[in-house]
A and B are shown apart, each in its own frame.
Chain A
């Protein structure tokens, strides 16, 4: 994707409006397609019991490892005779729930720590940022593995582990934004008007931090999904027989030479979702927060 040069001052950009999103979408076909794809995943996940032709753990004893074909198993079955289409659809539930849940935890934690650090200054800020440095010292996947080893396995544990691993990067950008907003003339102007400090934070600092944070969050959802799939793939995240894509890919790995669809179907589902989410994220970022471009 072509790198567009954008004005540096993220703060000066137009605030997000629905009309603005729509105008942008109409002139960016790929953004629109990506939104549609992401929406399809969300709907498939939400209505999985109605959309999926089979239950995710139903075993069809007559059809082990059958290839994709017109019939009862459109995308084939795995080595247990489980329907891959159905498992992949149910898998979207886990992927999205884990991605959104983890990002929610990371963004909230990052908001609290970043705001506290940026607003306090001095020793408190120093201590908080050293803590953030510690969180940032290892890549998120390694960090998540470390947390899983403490917390144990399971969907909720994966959400928590990946979420905590994301607190570091979120904190750092929030703090940067707070410092930038604090230096703006409109913050001083509010103080001059006699607005109390807490109110200045609430009305002037927070909104100017929340919006870039929301943009960053949309971008990091795909990253959280990738990390959680990585954990499952390594066999330390979600436990079988949960229809998690990472797990499914790991299971299919042994058969990849003669039944490539077993790993290929969930793999493609994952890849398409990640691409769609990152195109959506890029679009949102490009329109509302060019300042984030240098990050990531």
Chain B
């Protein structure tokens, strides 16, 4: 662990378990307290200017991971660091810097914007709060931010209830950009919109990320979106990262059978993982011994049910599988 690391985020074996009350209480006595492992040993770094996609089926822990990054959920074990400082313990100036440096674009963009504030006040709130802009320049700054996300300045006086879904997301993006953050974090930021609006927003996010050099952590269950937007990908399954690497390489030549199954389930661009993969996801409360994907894995062999594979690195890639798929050696 070098103290001079420039990494923005570093997660070291982060675990997050939820106490979920008692097991099916039998008639006689309550069952024992049960724990649900939403995150189970996640190791991850986010470097400046990098774009990272987090993909996986619903319930794989993507949102929990994001909440840990944002300091909204404290890990129950392991360490979550922002610029080498424990996120949960940020105070004073560090905490202010974190609040300015990390911006979240919510899954429910409309719900994340106070319906009783105008677009002007919504976008200016980070500026006002962090004292980033003299009062006289406020409108100009907001106009510039709106223009950056492709909205006309006249929109300033409107309330979000008068805007379309796509426009609301643009406002949310403008607001996220206001404090000039070094990381944008987005949870399913384009889901639930029609395809052309999605495409416009994705292009906007990609341009912003490339032009402004911000890092992007983007949650999606759409591999096409991940491929378009992010250089790196981390595939999650039941609270773990099971494969990570350069998006193009991972998606063209997956090493983990789960990644391949995801690819097979969503062959098309802009086609979120629709059909459930064959086999049943084990409950995160009672995880099987051995590999947690074994019950659904076509490659599974006997040892898979005994040994829990750790994430091991192979060059720039890493995967957690005892019998990785054959990949053509990268040429050049």
Contact = CB atoms under 8 A, between A and B. Distances in A.
B72 A193 contact: no
Interface string A195-218: 100000001100110010000000
Interface stretch (A7-15, A25-33, A124-132): A7-15
Nearest to B105: A189
B95 interface: yes
Nearest to B90: A194
A134 interface: no
A18 interface: no
A189 B106 contact: yes
A289 B288 CA distance: 50
B199 to A, nearest CB: 25
A214 to B, nearest CB: 12
Given A192-B99, A194-B96, A194-B129, A208 B116 contact: yes
Interface stretch (A135-143, A145-153, A180-188, A237-245): A180-188
The size class of the interface chain A forms with chain B is 20 to 34
B108 interface: yes
Interface residues of B, number: 26
Given A186-B112, A186-B113, A14 B99 contact: no
B70 A211 contact: no
B58 interface: no
A18 to B, nearest CB: 14
Contacts of B95: 194
B252 interface: no
Interface string B72-106: 10000000000000000000000110111000101
Given A14-B161, A207-B116, A185 B106 contact: yes
Given A14-B161, A15-B116, A186 B111 contact: yes
A204 B71 CA distance: 21
Contacts of A208: 114-116
Interface string B140-164: 0000000000000000000101100
Contacts of A190: 114, 125
A92 B49 CA distance: 70
B95 to A, nearest CB: 7
B106 to A, nearest CB: 5
B245 interface: no
B161 A13 contact: yes
Interface of A: 11-15, 184-186, 188-190, 192-195, 203-204, 207-208, 211
7 contacts: A14-B162, A185-B111, A186-B113, A189-B106, A192-B71, A193-B179, A194-B99
Interface of B: 70-72, 95-96, 98-100, 104, 106, 108, 110-116, 125-126, 129-130, 159, 161-162, 179
Given A189-B104, A194-B96, 14 more contacts: A12-B110, A15-B116, A15-B161, A186-B113, A189-B106, A190-B114, A192-B99, A192-B104, A193-B129, A193-B179, A194-B95, A194-B129, A203-B114, A208-B114
Top 9 A-B pairs, shortest CB-CB distance: A194-B99, A185-B111, A185-B112, A14-B161, A186-B114, A207-B116, A189-B112, A15-B116, A186-B112
